[in-house]
């Protein structure tokens, strides 16, 4: 058997996509990888977000790795804590933990002398391939509101929930009504002393019931594992067939889903004043669609107030709106979203010749097929720019991207390729074709959302997700500048040698 070159892979992040990359390498028999994780546990967004009501709004059967079905989901939509337990279990079962350096933040990665040099508090270390899997919505965004720091009570972002604060006795002020805010409202409405919702923009809500799975059903899935695969395929197909197509293709599907949202509001909220407050002035599906079963019921509970007057400022006792009204509060929660354009930053990525990722992305994040960046050899991004995210399960997306990175890693292991970088021309062509497709999407129909980039165009994939999977299944070496290996290099075994480390 031909000797294989030992390719050292660095993975940044041990969340859903970092674990996916690690599992993909494990399945390919590759153990020469290190996962850098700045926290002390795996899980990423599902570790950080623990707010009341946290649920994934993608069906649980579909929100799993294809290689690791989970017959134990308790509900149709998986609760956040179960998802986190699932990722911990996958890390344990696959032996990934021994490759993870917890509590280790990578501050920069610099391509030098044909390798990626990663800087951590321990010094510098070299790898052949860099895979970033730092997550999409990781950096909390706090609103710029006058007096924000002056509030006297506890105040925190939804993704940094302080569970030491008791809730039932509190008058809670909640800023933000995105997917997060609506889940918090659905959970807390009517269960706390007061819940004042500061809504800047109303949301369309698609009604999704969340039934509990019976013990009998779970036992059947254990007994007949094929049922898990059928469930995965069925819910994956349904979700893609409905939501993923409706957002990128105008037509009947989009009209039907829109009508369901409009009727949901009409039938659920009879009070005309409240209904007017909750009626958006843009089309359903334009922002990331909120999927919720209980939101409208929750906002009608006693003690819940929806405030649509703009916030003027925050003072020690509470929030003052533009009409001069002070709403006194005991606790302030910012469900105000994330910096969706951070990607792997603030970590510095520096390519050959000193080109930084910030420079390359001065006009906005751009990638080749969502995974590779012109000017940065052997760099692969999971959930990179224009990934098919939004109302979709990100797990199959990560699997396709990890599979693509693996293809190149295998080429390197086989000694055929030393380094590969997508050309600027191929990257531009790809981005131009996406730009041309954007007008058909609902995301440009006139709403503001975190989907939109600097140029006002969505940083999402404008076609059906299956196309993304196909693009990644068939790598096009012609789109890359490739440094070919002249001859097979000798195999290297064991840990990185002394030359790989600089302290």
Interface ranges with ligand N01 (CB under 6 A): 56-57, 137, 143, 145, 175-181, 198, 200-201, 288, 311, 335-338, 448, 450
Name the H helices within 29-126.
Answer: 45-48, 80-93
Q: Which residue lies nearer to ligand N01 by CB, 141 or 501?
A: 141
Q: Which residue lies nearer to ligand N01 by CB, 179 or 378?
A: 179
What does the alpha-carbon distance between residue 208 and residue 32 come to, in Å, rounded to a whole number?
43
What does the alpha-carbon distance between residue 308 and residue 201 come to, in Å, rounded to a whole number?
8
Q: How many Cα atoms occupy the beta-carbon half-sphere of 138 within 13 Å?
A: 21
Q: Which residue lies nearer to ligand N01 by CB, 337 or 385?
A: 337
Q: Which residue lies nearer to ligand N01 by CB, 83 or 405?
A: 83
| Least spacing, CB of residue 143 vs ligand N01, in Å | 3
CA distances from 420 to 21, 98, 118, 128, 374 (A): 19, 29, 19, 11, 10
| Least spacing, CB of residue 201 vs ligand N01, in Å | 3
Name the H helices within 282-393.
Answer: 295-299, 357-360
| Least spacing, CB of residue 62 vs ligand N01, in Å | 12
Structure tokens that stand for 42 in this block: 């795996």
Q: Which residue lies nearer to ligand N01 by CB, 227 or 342?
A: 342
| Least spacing, CB of residue 280 vs ligand N01, in Å | 9
| Least spacing, CB of residue 241 vs ligand N01, in Å | 19
Based on the number of CB atoms within 10 Å of its own CB, is 147 exposed (0-12), middle (13-18) or buried (19 or more)? Answer: middle
| Least spacing, CB of residue 334 vs ligand N01, in Å | 8
| Least spacing, CB of residue 392 vs ligand N01, in Å | 9
Q: Which residue lies nearer to ligand N01 by CB, 73 or 198?
A: 198
Q: Which residue lies nearer to ligand N01 by CB, 348 or 449?
A: 449
Strands 290-292 and 205-207: parallel
| Least spacing, CB of residue 74 vs ligand N01, in Å | 16
User: Which residue shows structure tokens 């509990």?
Assistant: 212
What does the alpha-carbon distance between residue 292 and residue 204 come to, in Å, rounded to a whole number?
10
Strands 326-328 and 123-127: unpaired
Q: Which residue lies nearer to ligand N01 by CB, 200 or 218?
A: 200
Q: Which residue lies nearer to ligand N01 by CB, 312 or 489?
A: 312
| Least spacing, CB of residue 327 vs ligand N01, in Å | 14
Strand, helix or coil for residue 375: coil
| Least spacing, CB of residue 489 vs ligand N01, in Å | 43
What does the alpha-carbon distance between residue 159 and residue 334 come to, in Å, rounded to a whole number?
9
The helices-and-strands tally (H runs, E runs) of the chain is 14, 22
Beta bridge mates, 117? 110, 126
CA quadruple 290, 338, 397, 17: dihedral, nearest 10? -130
Q: Which residue lies nearer to ligand N01 by CB, 75 or 101?
A: 75
CA distances from 349 to 138, 175, 345, 479 (A): 18, 34, 8, 22
């Amino acid at each position: 058997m031909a000797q294989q070159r030992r390719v050292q892979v660095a993975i940044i992040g041990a969340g859903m996509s970092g674990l996916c990359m690690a599992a993909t390498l494990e399945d390919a028999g590759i153990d020469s990888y290190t996962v850098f994780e700045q926290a002390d546990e795996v899980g990423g967004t599902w570790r950080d977000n623990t707010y009341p009501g946290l649920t994934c709004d993608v069906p649980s059967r579909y929100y799993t790795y294809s290689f690791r079905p989970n017959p134990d989901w308790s509900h149709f939509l998986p609760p956040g804590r179960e998802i986190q337990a699932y990722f911990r279990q996958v890390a344990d079962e696959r032996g990934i933990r021994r490759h993870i350096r917890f509590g280790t933040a990578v501050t920069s990665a610099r391509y030098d002398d044909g390798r990626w040099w990663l800087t951590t508090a321990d010094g510098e270390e070299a790898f052949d391939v860099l895979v970033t899997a730092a997550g999409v919505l990781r950096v909390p965004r706090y609103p710029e509101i006058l007096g924000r720091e002056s509030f006297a009570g506890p105040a925190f972002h939804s993704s940094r929930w302080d569970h030491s604060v008791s809730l039932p006795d509190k008058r809670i002020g909640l800023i933000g009504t995105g997917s997060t805010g609506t889940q918090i409202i659905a959970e807390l409405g009517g269960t706390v002393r007061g819940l004042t919702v500061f809504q800047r923009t109303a949301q369309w809500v698609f009604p999704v019931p969340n039934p509990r799975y019976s013990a009998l059903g779970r036992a059947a899935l254990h007994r007949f594992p094929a049922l898990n695969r059928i469930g995965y395929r069925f819910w994956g197909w349904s979700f893609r067939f409905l939501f993923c197509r409706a957002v990128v293709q105008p037509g009947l599907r989009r009209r039907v889903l829109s009508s369901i949202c409009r009727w949901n509001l009409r039938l659920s909220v009879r009070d005309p004043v409240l209904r007017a407050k909750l009626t958006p002035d843009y089309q359903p599906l334009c922002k990331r669609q909120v999927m919720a079963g209980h939101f409208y019921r929750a906002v009608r509970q006693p003690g819940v107030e929806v405030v649509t007057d703009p916030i003027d400022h925050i003072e020690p006792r509470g929030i003052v709106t533009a009409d001069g009204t002070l709403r006194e509060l005991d606790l302030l929660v910012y469900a105000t979203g994330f910096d969706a354009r951070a990607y792997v930053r603030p970590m510095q990525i520096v390519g050959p010749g000193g080109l930084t990722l910030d420079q390359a992305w001065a006009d906005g994040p751009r990638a080749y097929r969502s995974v590779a960046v012109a000017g940065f050899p052997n760099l692969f991004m999971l959930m990179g720019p224009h990934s098919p995210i939004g109302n979709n399960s990100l797990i199959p997306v990560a699997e396709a991207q990890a599979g693509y990175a693996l293809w190149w890693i295998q080429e390197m292991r086989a000694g055929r390729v030393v380094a590969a970088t997508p050309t600027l021309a191929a990257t531009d062509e790809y981005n131009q074709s996406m730009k041309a497709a954007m007008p058909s999407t609902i995301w440009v129909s006139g709403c503001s959302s975190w989907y939109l980039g600097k140029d006002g165009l969505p940083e999402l994939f404008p076609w059906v997700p299956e196309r993304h999977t196909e693009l990644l299944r068939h790598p096009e070496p012609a789109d890359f500048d490739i440094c070919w290996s002249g001859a097979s290099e000798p195999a290297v075994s064991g840990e990185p040698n002394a030359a790989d480390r600089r302290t």
